[in-house]
């Protein structure tokens, strides 16, 4: 169990602005109190029972921000980074555990050289049911939906794009990678932590739920005759993208409004995150 005074490696109270925060200093990488952060890369692949690890200053500031949908459980910070991360420490919930360790101890805990010197443990938000979530959105809502995107870099990029262009949510089908994988969170620069993501469903049920909620589903596919530039902002819309290579299934495209990004030089596709960014800009632009 995590607790601010549950460790044997030593603790201190550190002034942060007008507050005094309990900092637990860890000198032994085998201390049971840091078990949640041990061998980060290996455990990324096995899940953490509703928890996730976040890495880096930008992401930890997103985790600590009021806009975060996730609850911070613990921080593990290299001692030389404590001063620069005082704002994040001060924003941590009262029951969060704040740990500090020398860089070499931190590296041994994580199982690799953590040059950023910063890890956070967060609790995933309760994912809403898709139908209920869609019913609560406005009449001009734009969402980003993805089918079969298994690459964590692309998932992170999709969330980053959704946040940048004001999408109301990212909807993933049940074949997409976990957005709370550490690398996906890092690539998203923390957007995963603040962007609603309903419970994944099979693609057919996702499309059906969007249709029933009154969303026009715009399928991004290189084989479409209608160019993306023909789209004008307005109304409830869902941008649907598929995995690179196979793309979206033909029966799904047939139920949607297919559009393509015109290209030259014999190319017929872009990285899925890049293509989604271009399309979201077109669908949400105001001028």
Q: Look up residue 66 and give its two tokens.
A: 């009021």
Domain shared by 68 and 206, yes or no: no
Q: Look up residue 126 and give its two tokens.
A: 């309760």
Instruction: Give residue-wise pLDDT tens across range 67-115.
Output: 999 999 999 999 999 999 999 999 999 999 999 999 999 999 999 888 8
Domain shared by 106 and 135, yes or no: no
pLDDT at position 45:
53
Reply yes or no on whether the pLDDT at 7 is more than 70.
no
What residues make up the domain containing 49? 11-123
Domain shared by 159 and 197, yes or no: yes
Instruction: Answer yes or no: is 60 within a domain.
Output: yes
119 strand-pairing partners: 55, 76
Reply yes or no on whether the pLDDT at 279 is more than 60.
yes
pLDDT at position 269:
75
Domain shared by 101 and 173, yes or no: no
C-alpha to C-alpha distance for 161 and 274, rounded to whole angstroms: 9
Instruction: Answer yes or no: is 3 within a domain.
Output: no
Domain shared by 113 and 147, yes or no: no
Instruction: Specify whether the CB–CB gap between 271 and 154 falls below 8 A.
Output: yes
Q: How many domains does the chain have?
A: 2
Domain shared by 95 and 145, yes or no: no
| pLDDT (mean) for 57-76 | 96
Domain shared by 139 and 264, yes or no: yes
Instruction: Answer yes or no: is 2 within a domain.
Output: no
| pLDDT (mean) for 7-15 | 43
Instruction: Specify whether the CB–CB gap between 130 and 171 falls below 8 A.
Output: yes
Q: Look up residue 157 and give its two tokens.
A: 């990029």
> How many CB atoms neighbour CB 214 within 10 A?
13
Q: Look up residue 121 and give its two tokens.
A: 């443990």
Across the chain, mean pLDDT equals 89
> How many CB atoms neighbour CB 185 within 10 A?
30
Domain shared by 69 and 174, yes or no: no
pLDDT at position 47:
58
Instruction: Answer yes or no: is 6 within a domain.
Output: no
């Amino acid at each position: 169990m995590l607790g601010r005074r549950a460790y044997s490696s030593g603790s201190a109270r550190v002034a942060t602005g007008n507050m005094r925060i309990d900092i637990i200093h860890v000198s032994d990488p085998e201390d049971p109190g840091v078990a949640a952060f041990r061998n980060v890369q290996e455990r990324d692949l096995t899940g953490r029972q509703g928890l996730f690890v976040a890495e880096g200053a930008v992401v930890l500031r997103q985790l600590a921000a009021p806009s975060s949908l996730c609850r911070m459980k613990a921080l593990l910070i290299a001692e030389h980074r404590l001063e620069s991360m005082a704002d994040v420490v001060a924003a941590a919930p009262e029951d969060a555990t704040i740990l500090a360790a020398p860089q070499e101890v931190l590296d041994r805990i994580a199982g690799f050289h953590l040059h950023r010197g910063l890890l956070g443990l967060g609790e995933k938000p309760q994912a809403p049911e898709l139908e209920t979530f869609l019913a609560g959105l406005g009449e001009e809502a734009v969402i980003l939906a993805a089918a079969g995107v298994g690459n964590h870099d692309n998932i992170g990029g999709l969330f980053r794009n959704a946040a940048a262009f004001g999408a109301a949510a990212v909807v993933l089908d049940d074949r997409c990678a976990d957005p709370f994988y550490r690398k996906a969170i890092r690539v998203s620069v923390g957007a995963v932590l603040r962007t609603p993501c309903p419970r994944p469903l099979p693609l057919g049920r996702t499309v059906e739920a969007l249709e029933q909620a009154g969303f026009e589903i715009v399928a991004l596919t290189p084989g479409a005759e209608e160019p993306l530039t023909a789209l004008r902002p307005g109304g409830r819309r869902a941008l649907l993208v598929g995995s690179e290579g196979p793309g979206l299934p033909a029966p799904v495209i047939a139920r949607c409004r297919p559009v393509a990004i015109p290209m030259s030089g014999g190319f017929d596709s872009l990285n899925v995150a890049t293509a989604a960014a271009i399309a979201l800009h077109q669908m949400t632009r105001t001028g």
